[in-house]
Amino acid sequence: MTKLKTKHLLGIKDLDKEDIQLIFSTADTFKEVINRPIKKVPSLRDTTIANLFFENSTRTKISFELAEKRLSADVVNFSASGSSVKKGETLVDTVNNILAMKVDLLVMRHPNPGAAEFLSRHIQAKIINAGDGAHEHPTQALLDAFSIREKYGEVKNKKVVLIGDIMHSRVALSNIFCLQKLGAEVMVCGPTTLLPKYISSLGVKVEYNLKKALEWCDVANMLRIQLERQDIRYFPTLREYTMLYGVNRQLLDSLDKEITIMHPGPINRGVEITSDVADSKQSIILNQVENGVAIRMAILYLLAGRTDQ
Ligand code: CP
């Protein structure tokens, strides 16, 4: 297979196992490219890409921009602050004005769940969802699974636990879909208040005890407490959360095996993870960031290369 079955990348739910494997094999090639002295290829010369960020980002924004530039695309960056969105312009009007300037492909992060899907129904250009509220963050899940594959050779049959604020996390939902499609076993672990009631209907194991979750898994993906999306208090204090759900060196040393630690970033050091764990050899956090560029190059290349509109 040389072509994705989807025109847009709105969520992992739109991909099947073959699509994911095609993205991974393409990313393998681009990972080799970005480690060369000359990191650039002409694949997307004459393609114009707009990065629309209606919500803050460090990793995803820079990673997409670097991926686009490594593929020789022309790149424009838009952020909501300082734009005419502040004057009341609608999302569709803003995007149609940008597309009128002959933009071929959009990458969009938006605080509203479903924003990328909504836009895909109103415009002609291809869209990549770079995170929509608490819904999906497909490129993060793909780079996470790619990093597990890099570490272990394959994702199938690996035991992965997502720990923390599952309720408000787009990374959690996309990871669950992606890992299951690749044949991994998935568990979620966190306080009752941060695990949605529907979660077991997605076919994941549910564990409230952190030590038991760590004893079960090969890989622990630590999620950030999404304070910006919490309208009420879901636990008494951050200190209590850390005591019950924070991963520290002592806890890892008490296990009878060496597990792999992941985190999508940004990290709350000393809350969900201590610095000595985040910076240890068990952590592949910066490998995830490196792999993000190769994964995004692969997706951009595969979507931009589709001839249908
Ligand atoms: N992992 C992630 O999405 O980070 P940013 O919010 O910095 O893009």
Backbone angles phi, psi at 130, to 5 degrees: -100, 25
| Mean of pLDDT over the chain | 95
pLDDT of residue 309: 43
Q: Is position 240 within any domain?
A: yes
In CATH, what number is assigned to the domain containing residue 216? 3.40.50.1370
Which residue of 55, 58, 143, 291 sits with most ligand 1 atoms within 8 Å of its CB, as the best mutation to test the pocket?
58
pLDDT in tens, 208-220: 999 999 999 999 9
Q: Is position 77 within any domain?
A: yes
Ligand 1 centroid–CA 130 distance in Å is 9
Pair 162, 225 in one domain: yes
Tokens of 215: 């004893």
Q: Is position 52 within any domain?
A: yes
Residue 228 or residue 301, greater confidence: 301
pLDDT of residue 234: 83
Pair 128, 187 in one domain: no
State in Å, rounded, how far the first CA of the chain is from the last one: 20
Pair 185, 76 in one domain: no
Q: Is position 150 within any domain?
A: yes
Pair 161, 267 in one domain: yes
Judging by DSSP bridges, how do beta strands 105-110 and 159-163 pair with one another?
unpaired
Pair 159, 32 in one domain: no
pLDDT of residue 225: 86
57 ligand 1 Cβ < 6 A: yes
pLDDT of residue 235: 84
pLDDT in tens, 92-102: 999 999 999 99
Pair 211, 74 in one domain: no
Domain count, the chain: 2
pLDDT in tens, 164-178: 999 999 999 999 999
Pair 81, 211 in one domain: no
Tokens of 39: 């990191």
Question: CA-based angle 168:185:146, to the nearest 5?
Answer: 75
Pair 144, 114 in one domain: no
Q: Is position 4 within any domain?
A: no
Pair 158, 274 in one domain: yes
Pair 100, 38 in one domain: yes
Cβ–Cβ < 8 Å for 172, 133: no
Give residue 119's domain range: 12-136+289-304
pLDDT at residue 81 above 90?
no
Q: How far apart are CA 15 and CA 18, in angstroms?
A: 8
Which residue of 54, 57, 109, 291 sits with most ligand 1 atoms within 8 Å of its CB, as the best mutation to test the pocket?
57
Q: Which of 106, 86, 91, 90 has the alpha carbon at shortest distance from 9?
A: 106
Nearest ligand 1 atom to the CA of 56 is 6
pLDDT of residue 112: 96
Ligand 1 centroid–CA 58 distance in Å is 6
